[in-house]
Amino acid sequence: MTTALTHLQRLEAESIHIFREVAAAFAKPVMLYSVGKDSSVLMHLAMKAFYPAKPPFPFLHVDTTWKFREMIAFRDQMAQKLGFDLLVHVNEDGVRDNINPFDHGSNTHTHVMKTVALRQALDKYGFDAAFGGARRDEEKSRAKERIFSFRNAQHVWDPKNQRPEMWKIFNTRIASGESIRVFPLSNWTELDIWQYILQESIPIVPLYFAKERPVVERDGMLILRDDERMKLRPGETVENRLVRFRTLGCYPLTGAIESDADTLEAIVGEMLTARTSERQGRLIDRDEAGSMEKKKREGYF
């Protein structure tokens, strides 16, 4: 009788346990669906956790209106295929004020269209628990966060005063207006995610695979010109280059890498030789020291 679980089986079981705990203990949970590879894994785990039932909560996409078009197409396709309840929220105040990453910078854009938008959506529907796909290996303030991470009624995270989290016994108690952010992938690494995608044949947005794409070199990053809203600066040209993305976000803030990895195996192979971390491609983390912690305290995922 062989019963020792593999590394991935252990991670999968832990994540499923977390999903069920939230479904059992909270009145109105929601899953934050960001369409990226971690969200794809999260969605797959949610389907497993409640099989043969569907996940007993809706999926929420906070749309900044600057996501890659392929992400939106993939999102709608998945919602239809898996039959989950998809909510899309846009910060209409931000749209009215024409907040965008080019004129207002990544900081303001992310704050208004992502952080504030998320708070609006959570308040609007009255969600008391929200799943996110964050992993502890991504960034050092995330490495400090609990799996069940408490937020006060203003959605604020207090990193200096987190609840102790013992064993698999989660404290799910909150007062009215307070909420919990829940991170089922806390203990997964980037390699685990890719390995699991490969093992389970989980669909992901094609942008992760190398392909000739029209990119502009700007501030040391390769930006995919996804639509006409991106105006070229003097001296800039659009070139077709063989690129792919390690992470996905708003297209003007997400750098492509030059790569010919067009299969999952090749992506994993490339990862193993990678010399930079995946958040390297994210402009928003570099704005200032401790920037992720600051955003998280304000309510960012």
Nearer to other proteins, 28 or 294 (CB): 294
Q: Which residues contact 36 (CB under 8 A, 6 or more apart)?
A: 71, 133, 205, 247, 248, 249
Rounded to whole angstroms, the Cα distance separating 214 from 238 reads 6
Nearer to other proteins, 231 or 272 (CB): 272
Nearer to other proteins, 16 or 86 (CB): 16
Rounded to whole angstroms, the Cα distance separating 85 from 141 reads 31
Rounded to whole angstroms, the Cα distance separating 136 from 103 reads 32
Nearer to other proteins, 70 or 285 (CB): 285
Nearer to other proteins, 45 or 113 (CB): 45
Tokens of 129: 């628990």
Rounded to whole angstroms, the Cα distance separating 207 from 245 reads 6
At closest approach, how far in Å is the CB of 194 from other proteins? 9
Q: Is 265 exposed, middle or buried (0-12, 13-18, 19+ CB in 10 A)?
A: exposed
At closest approach, how far in Å is the CB of 271 from other proteins? 9
Tokens of 30: 């929601």
At closest approach, how far in Å is the CB of 268 from other proteins? 5
Instruction: At 162, give phi and psi (nearest 5°).
Output: -85, 150
At closest approach, how far in Å is the CB of 214 from other proteins? 26
Tokens of 218: 């700007």
Nearer to other proteins, 121 or 253 (CB): 253
Residue type, 28: K
Nearer to other proteins, 89 or 294 (CB): 294
At closest approach, how far in Å is the CB of 163 from other proteins? 5
At closest approach, how far in Å is the CB of 288 from other proteins? 11
Helix orientation angle between 37-50 and 190-200, rounded to the nearest 10 degrees: 60
CA distance between the termini of the chain? 42
Q: Which residues contact 2 (CB under 8 A, 6 or more apart)?
A: none
At closest approach, how far in Å is the CB of 33 from other proteins? 19
